[in-house]
Amino acid sequence: MATGRAIHQLLRRKFQSTASPVLSSLVSKQDQDGVGSAGVKSLRALALLGAGVSGLLSFTTIASADEAEHGLECPSYPWPHKGILSSYDHASIRRGHQVYQQVCASCHSMSLISYRDLVGVAYTEEETKAMAAEIEVVDGPNDEGEMFTRPGKLSDRFPQPYTNEQAARFANGGAYPPDLSLITKARHNGQNYVFALLTGYRDPPAGVSIREGLHYNPYFPGGAIAMPKMLIDGAVEYEDGTPATEAQMGKDVVSFLSWAAEPEMEERKLMGFKWIFVLSLALLQAAYYRRLRWSVLKSRKLVLDVVN
């Protein structure tokens, strides 16, 4: 018993030296008043409750800081081409290219896409040739060693909005507009992120100050982005008469950018389905062949005939 009391006193002193002043005073008062085991249990429950509340507040603070640094987690949208056997909405790709041309191309390049890539996907060959002929491309040198300009053709890439990175930063207040050729693959949760970013502009909440020239968007890392809100209802007049709402334009341009990042997706899915079908037939044949060849060994019986 004496040993037990000594251990209890040592533990009490250790707890008082490491615990907060409030809990230490509660323990001292409990010892002085001679409260029983019920009081000790209540004190432990109070301490655990305080620790839980403190941990919850710390977790909330860390989560808020992480959202401010890396951007708000964007929702998951049901894209029609995400299924195993689903394909792109080619009408949406055509509308998305129109949104890119009229809204995005003035600042963002798509250096990996040629006009011929659009043939059979969103436009006919004649439409694409007429579209490419509207731009002028510096080519050469000619026989005299000089550069010249010519109308664009199907093999040309989409035109660059700026001659170099320095010119792009100067025109955009120091910010460099990224190339959009692979943007849905270059960003985490790419399609959902791009859609949430384009449609996620808000007024800054109370207590949040945004520097002049920047715009508040909770989905952008840091919450402040140099690009202003570009998708406004009616900003584009669709050729097929589809209402050009903010959400519709965002969905269409994301479909176009998804196709630009993975133009082989439909062919890859179709080829994968064909391979699965062929391998399934081969598996059935292999199973039948194994059953046929091993049936003798698997079903044989050894009989011992004792001769007297």
Annotated binding-site residue numbers: 104, 107-108, 227
Whole-number Å distance between alpha carbons of 224 and 216: 5
Binding residues for heme c: 104, 107-108, 227
Whole-number Å distance between alpha carbons of 196 and 26: 51
β-pair type (215-216, 224-225): antiparallel
What does the H/E/C string look like for the chain? CHHHHHHHHHHHHHHHHHCCHHHHHHHHHHHHHCCCHHHHHHHHHHHHHHHHHHHHHHHHHHHHHHHHHHCCCCCCCCCCCCCCCCCCCHHHHHHHHHHHHHHHCCCCCCCCCEHHHHECCCECHHHHHHHHCCCEEEECCCCCCCCEEEECCCCCECCCCCCCHHHHHHHCCCCCCCCCCCHHHHCCCHHHHHHHHHHCCCCCCCCCCCCCCCEECCCCCCCEECCCCCCCCCCCCCCCCCCCCHHHHHHHHHHHHHHHHCCCHHHHHHHHHHHHHHHHHHHHHHHHHHHHHHHHHHHCCCCCCCCC
